Structure 1
Amino acid sequence: MPDSEKNKNRRSSHGQTFNEFMTTMDRLFAEKPIKGLLQSMDDFFGTIERGFPVEIIEKDTHFHIKAALPGVKREQIDIEMLAQGVIISVKNFVQPVKMTGNKTPAKRKQSSKTVSRTITLSKPIDEQRATASHRDGVLEIKVPKLKGKRIAIID
């Protein structure tokens, strides 16, 4: 058998092995785990929505962070400033559940009492001059960037 045919058969064999592997992996993640502890974990992680949506807008001089927190009171929110990031925590967070039909949306409490998001920013920030406001279920944080020292390039 010529070398080109051997290489072709070898590639075909490897492709078939890879396809079988991918099929097995797809089946593993698509099927529910065996009942018991694994099923409980799957049900737990599959039904609870964690966190809240956050939008980060980078401007020339600052970062503008918006977090959607409907139904959350100002007293429930804790903001911690880091050297290059922000942690937003909400105590006793209640996630609204969307219902179909004419029913009004129900509310369910998260299993944990505090939900938080850590936002890492691309540049160092001036944490002392950061400001925050909370209106109509939207938390807005304005975080000024620190300016670095520019240096001249010498030949």
Structure 2
Amino acid sequence: MASNRDKLPNRFDVDMTPLHDFMRQMDNFFNHSFKHMNSHFNLRPFWINVRETEKKVIVEAELPGYKRDQIELEIIGNQLRIGVEDNAIIEEKNNENAYLNKQQSFQKRERFVTLPFEIPKRETKATFREGMLKITIPKKQSERKYIDIN
């Protein structure tokens, strides 16, 4: 007499393709929706690149459309915070109909860069030209040690 266990399908006998297709469609739906929402509300973070040489760490941030006074740099121990703020006031007046429309928006974005050493404030230099922020952080002689992996 066959047991109930013999009546169950083997795990390799079940076709999971419809479930995988459904999951892929859901991922595409949410990815597309959030991309659309990010572009509508301009929620994209700004581009940042960090590279290291023997003597310094160079952080570059692409900030097109921003001015120097909209950028804030802050050193917090071994972290560098790059913040940008944008305020816009749009005012429309129509004197014929005594119509006034005023819109105001405020946007703040920030990125953090964490380094394996404390950032020296006095030696760190920053320049901003044509929408590109470049921060040069010197590396002090630290007691970094590398561990061999067996």
- Compute the TM-score of the two structures, normalised by the length of structure 2: 0.63
Q: Which has the higher strand share?
A: 2
Q: 1:66 maps to what in 2?
A: 60
Is the 1:125–1:144 Cα contact (8 Å) retained in structure 2? no
CA RMSD of superposed structures (Å): 3.0
Letter in 1 for 2:50: I
Change in CA separation of 1:42 and 1:136 when aligned onto 2, cut-off 3 Å: closer
Quick check: 2:75–2:119 contact (8 Å CA) kept in 1? no
Name the CA shift for 1:126/1:146 in 2 (closer, same or farther; >3 Å): farther
Counterpart-to-counterpart distance in 1, 2:50 and 2:87: 21
Cα separation, 2, equivalents of 1:93 and 1:70 = 15
CA contact (8 A) 1:82 1:127 kept: no
**How far apart, CA to CA, are the structure 1 residues paired with 2:114 and 2:144?**
24
Verify the 8 A CA contact 2:38 2:44 in the aligned structure 1.
no
Aligned to 1:118: 112
Superposed displacement of residue 12, structure 1: 2.4
- Matched residues in 2 for 1:62 and 1:28: separation? 45
Query: Given the alignment of the two structures, is residue 76 of structure 1 paired with residue 70 of structure 2, yes or no?
Result: yes
Aligned to 1:24: 22
Q: Any conservation in 2 of the 1:125–1:145 contact (CA below 8 Å)?
A: no
Instruction: Determine whether 1:52 maps to 2:46.
Output: yes
Shift of 1:60: 1.3
Q: Which residue of 2 aligns with 1:10?
A: 10
Higher helix share goes to which structure?
A: 1
Gaps of 5+ in 1: 1-5, 33-38, 95-110
Q: Is the 8 A contact 2:74 2:82 kept in 1?
A: yes
Aligned counterpart, 2:99: none
Report the CA distance shift for 1:93/1:115 in structure 2 as closer, same or farther (over 3 A): farther
- Structure number with greater Rg is 2
Identical positions, percent:
24
**1:16-62 CA distances to partner (integer Å, 9 max, x unpaired)?**
23x33321211222347xxxxxx7x7753353351211111111121
Q: TM-score, normalised by structure 1?
A: 0.61
Q: Note closer, same or farther for the CA distance 1:124–1:114 as it changes in structure 2 (3 Å cut).
A: same
Structure 2: 5+ residue stretches without partners: 1-5, 89-104, 146-150
